[in-house]
């Protein structure tokens, strides 16, 4: 066996591996693979394909002395000790870009659902129902003329901006460096400071990676800067907000609503958030579309195949000395 695949992935990847003469085993468990099993399975393999939900730390890497590549099935790589892999001369790859549209669409759906109270309405109709249309009944808010603050104008942030621009919204964004003026013009986006974005935005949406620098990028100080009528959407990584503060912020009406697709202690989520009607919770489905997952499968399989053929892999995220 050349390749171990730590979770079930689309058939397209398996066909590519077979075509290139690679033998593989794919984990078939209903739950995520446990660390003990992962260590046993990588003991004699050259290539590991792993989902971003599986931790590949020093112990796992040391258990695989023949390992030549870790191909992460996901855009983020915070589940892998990339620095240690580099020390062991093992490149780590990811699957960037191809999930941007799907994640942007999920972000838009969460924004619309919060602003128009779609989930609340569905719950109402499945329980006591309603008495009929009335002028002041169940009011939400339209997106037109509102300001959206996009934290991180990378591939996903750009796709979000493009779509919300069509809703006639003011597009604000912040990140470490200002984007090129031609991109700003194309998206109708204005670069502002973090604090200005939080103060002015009716909707704040996060699209930054999980790093030491971005951990709790939004905390109590930042929540208090937001409008009390603003909503917060996170389809990036759970660690970028201080999630445990959200129930208090919502109860005190510091912010008006929250939609989360990712969680700080994923897959766990607090019981307090589950009980709140102005909170929408989805199970990390940002890129859970057939199209995105097929594209991701193609990338990991082609990277493994390239390395096996003595060629370079695409999208290496760690610096491996020759």
Which residue stretches of the chain are H helix? Answer: 11-19, 35-41, 58-62, 82-87, 100-115, 118-125, 155-165, 181-187, 194-200, 220-225, 246-251, 271-274, 290-308
Which tokens is 110 given? 């969460």
- From the candidates 254, 284, 293, 302, give the one annotated as an active-site residue: 284
Q: Within 10 A of 295 (CB to CB), how many other CB atoms are there?
A: 19
Active site residue 163: no
Contact 99, 287 (CB under 8 A): yes
Which has the closest alpha carbon to 114: 249, 257, 227?
257
* CA dihedral for 159, 162, 164, 167, sign (positive or negative): negative
Instruction: Note if the bond before 267 is cis, omega within 30 degrees.
Output: yes
Q: Within 10 A of 139 (CB to CB), how many other CB atoms are there?
A: 8
Which has the closest alpha carbon to 295: 9, 24, 23, 6?
9
- From the candidates 117, 200, 207, 237, give the one annotated as an active-site residue: 237
Which has the closest alpha carbon to 226: 256, 269, 252?
256
Vertex 213: Cα angle to 147 and 228 (nearest 5)? 30
Contact 192, 200 (CB under 8 A): yes
Active site residue 141: no
Active-site annotation, residues: 237, 266, 284
């Amino acid at each position: 066996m050349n390749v171990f695949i730590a979770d079930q992935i689309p058939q397209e990847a398996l066909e590519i591996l077979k075509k290139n003469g690679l033998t593989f085993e794919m984990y078939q468990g209903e739950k995520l693979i446990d660390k003990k099993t992962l260590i046993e399975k990588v003991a004699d393999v050259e290539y590991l394909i792993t989902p971003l939900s599986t931790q590949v730390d020093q112990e796992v890497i040391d258990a695989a002395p023949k390992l030549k590549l870790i191909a992460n099935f996901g855009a983020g790589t915070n589940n892998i000790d990339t620095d240690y892999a580099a020390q062991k001369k093992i490149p780590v790859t990811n699957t960037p870009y191809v999930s941007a549209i799907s994640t942007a669409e999920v972000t838009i759906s969460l924004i619309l659902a919060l602003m128009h109270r779609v989930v609340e309405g569905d719950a109402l109709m499945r329980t006591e129902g309603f008495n009929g249309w009335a002028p002041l009944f169940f009011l939400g808010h339209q997106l037109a003329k509102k300001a959206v603050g996009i934290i991180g104008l990378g591939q996903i942030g750009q796709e979000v901006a493009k779509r919300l621009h069509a809703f006639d919204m003011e597009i604000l964004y912040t990140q470490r460096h200002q984007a090129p003026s031609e991109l700003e013009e194309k998206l109708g986006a204005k670069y502002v400071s973090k604090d200005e974005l939080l103060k002015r935005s009716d909707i704040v949406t996060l699209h930054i990676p999980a790093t030491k620098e971005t951990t709790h990028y939004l905390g109590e100080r930042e929540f208090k800067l937001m409008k009390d009528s603003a909503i917060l959407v996170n389809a990036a990584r759970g660690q970028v907000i201080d999630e445990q503060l959200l129930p208090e912020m919502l109860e005190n009406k510091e912010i008006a609503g929250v939609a989360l697709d990712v969680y700080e202690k994923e897959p766990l989520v607090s019981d307090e958030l589950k009980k709140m009607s102005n909170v929408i919770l989805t199970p990390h489905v940002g890129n859970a579309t057939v199209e995105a997952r097929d594209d991701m499968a193609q990338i990991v399989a082609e990277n493994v195949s390239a390395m096996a053929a003595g060629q370079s892999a695409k999208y290496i995220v760690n610096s491996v000395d020759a």
